[in-house]
Each structure stands twice: as C-alpha cells, then as structure tokens.
Amino acid sequence: MTTTPPDPGAPDPGAPDPGAPDPGAAAPVRLTEFSHGAGCACKLSPADLRTVLGLVRANGAAADPDLLVGFDTSDDAAVYRLRDDLAIVVTTDFFTPIVDDPYDWGRIAATNALSDVYAMGATPLLALNLVGWPREGLPFDLLARVLDGGGDVVRAAGALIGGGHSIDDAEPKFGLAVVGTVHPDRVLTNTGARVGDVLVLTKPIGLGVIATATKRAFAAPELIAEAVRVMTTLNADARDAVLEIGDAVHAATDVTGFGLLGHLQELFAGSGLAGEVDASAVPVIDGVRELLAAGMVAGGTQRNHAFVTETAPVDWGALPLDEQLLLCDAQTSGGLLLAVDPVRADDLVHALAAHDTLAASVVGRCVDGAAGSIAVRALLRG
C-alpha cells in the first residue's frame, strides 16, 4: 500500500481553527444582563413619587429665601443663591447599565447627570462619582472603564471630578452628583411657561425603546451606536442657544425617565396651564417604530403611559397605542424641552441649528385650560 506524504503547506486537520472562539476564554460581559431595567426607565414612576412625597414631612427649607428652587416643584435641580450675582445649582442622577460597553455607559450616565444643570440655564463646575458595584460579580477593570467614560464627559463639559462614593451592590449603578453655577436672575425653571408659548425639543425620542431592545439582545449594532451618539451629546449647545435668545425662553426641562409627555405634564402643571402636542412633529430616531411594533416597551414607559392617561389627563384623540407609548417612552439623557415666546421661536430654532443640536423641532404649544392637561393630535397648525 502506498501513501501520499502530507503537503507541508496544508493545514493540520487536528489543529484548532484560528478563527474559532477560544473555548477557554471568558464570554464577554453583558452589563445589561445585570440590570433589572434600562437607564432612566429604572426611575420610580410619577405616581410612585407623588405617593412618597405626600408622606414626607416638610423640612423647613422653603423658609429660606435664598433657596430659589427646591423641594416644592418638579424642577431638574435645586438652586441656592450665594450672593446677588451668584447661585449654585445642585443635582444628582444615577442608574443601572443601559448599554453593555462600560465606557459608553459611563459617558451616558455623566451626560445625563450634567443635563439637569444645563436645563436650569447653568454651567457645571464640579462632580462626584456615585457607584454601586457587585464586587464579587463583576471585575473592577470594568468599573474603571465606567469611571473613565464619565470622567471624559465631565472634562469635555469644562468641569472637574472631585471624588465620589461607592458601595458594594448586587446591581451595578453609576452616576454623578453635580454642582453648577448660574446668575440668580437667569435661572430657568419648568414653572414659567405662558399661554401662547411654543414648545421646542432638542433631541429625538425613542431611546427607551432602543435600550429595551439592547437589553433583550434585539437591537442592531448601528441602532445602538446611534442611541449612544444621542445620549452622549451634551445639552451644553442647546443651553447656549437658549442664553442667546434670553428672556424669550420662559421655561425649560430635560426629557428623561418620565418620557416626553410626563415632563411636559410637569411643565404645564407647574406653570398653571394646559398644552397641545403635535405628535407628527416629534422627532423619532429611525428604526424605533419597528422595534416598538416588535414589543420593545420598557416597564417604565408603560407606567408613564398609565400615569399621564389617568392623572394628567391626556386626550389622545385617535392616536394609535404604539404612538402613545412612543410619546411616553422613558428617555435617558434626552434633549431639552423649551417653552418660548412664539415671536422668537424661529430665532431659537435657528440658534439651535447653528449650535449643531441634534434636533430643533417645534412640537406643540401652551394654551389656556386645566393645569397639566394635554391634548395630543397627529397634526396641529395655526
């Protein structure tokens, strides 16, 4: 019997495939698997907060005339006047993983926390890290990447990280406590809107849908990348555009866990008026509606929808349920929502565009009516 000698250039059939996964290598960590919810969808619902705050005893802070914005409103941060030309803005925000990449999670959480300062018309100055970490469940090199991401965003905002606090926690959490500064006469709140004001939104919505799809391993990589881009875009440019318009912007808030309509309801209720929303004008990230149709709805979004439907109240008109849920989608690191004098609305939209904000969309208006009530229509004109 004859045999053919092996070709020295041929691969060894018994050798491992260099392109195959290493069976001894650890599987990549999916941070979202350690989270019971995604980002700001983990927040207590507006209904839950009303219950809690109704049980909290008054702490006497309202008696201090230098507390310009405090516990009694639904504003994004507290504001305390130090002198006639200087006030500090203090806020905090943290949440569970919203994406699997630790660096991106850190960037998103930091951008989200800084947003509260920008929503008050202020400039961030100093931040402290807030960390919950399962010391036996996740390696510390991942936490280092989270902190790197947060630190890079804070530095990009012109602020400093001055320290922080950490605890051993079964579920990972990260965020910031932030201090900013603002002139006491230039503080933006969500209680100053006026009848006739136009509502302008500076980022598209749909982030909660994408976060839910990410957690369920259902979102395409390019859609996740777009969501990360939106969530890591600071609202600093939007704040700068607002400052250029000046006194014509009467109220502001940012859009986060309570969804667009939840935060609008707070603005309308705080301002003692009602509002109308043009559902067809609200910017939505491409691909989100398809995910929504596939059932990618966060629990926080469902709670938001129940709250505004039963409590606000919202008149949905003929709007389909999926579109209703989209307007209640629990956002993380969303855009600013601004109430502006209609005479200056075009100026604001142009200023936002000049500052390269992600969206500059007129989405509704403020009207006379029961405080906090909202009418949603597919099209509003005139």
What tokens were used for 28? 């990549």
Q: Give the number of other Cβ atoms within 10 Å of residue 19's Cβ.
A: 5
- pLDDT at residue number 12: 45
What tokens were used for 209? 């849908």
- pLDDT at residue number 11: 43
Q: Note whether 371 and 275 are within 8 A (CB).
A: no
- pLDDT at residue number 10: 44
The active-site residue, picked from 40, 42, 328, 366, is 40
**Mean pLDDT value across residues 37-57:** 60
pLDDT in tens, 133-150: 999 989 999 999 999 999
- Considering the chain, what is the average pLDDT of its residues? 88
**Mean pLDDT value across residues 311-338:** 94
pLDDT in tens, 57-73: 555 555 789 999 988 78
- 42 vs 36: CA distance, rounded Å: 8
Give the model's confidence band at 24: pLDDT under 50 very low, under 70 low, under 90 confident, else very high.
Answer: very low
- pLDDT at residue number 29: 81
Active-site annotation holds for 40: yes
Map residue 321 onto helix, strand or coil.
Answer: helix
Give the model's confidence band at 21: pLDDT under 50 very low, under 70 low, under 90 confident, else very high.
Answer: very low
Tell how strand 314-315 and strand 374-377 pair up.
Answer: parallel
Bridge partners, residue 164, by sequence: 129
- Please give the DSSP secondary-structure letter assigned to residue 80: E
Residue with tokens 């999670």: 105
Q: Which domains does the chain have, with CATH numbers?
A: 40-54+65-377 (3.90.650.10)
**356 vs 371 pLDDT, higher one:** 371
Closest to 236 in 3D by CA, of 116, 347, 91: 116
Asked whether residue 267 carries a pLDDT value surpassing 50, the answer given is: yes
What percent of the chain has pLDDT above 90? 77
What tokens were used for 203? 């980022």
Instruction: Report if pTM > 0.85.
Output: yes
Give the model's confidence band at 98: pLDDT under 50 very low, under 70 low, under 90 confident, else very high.
Answer: very high
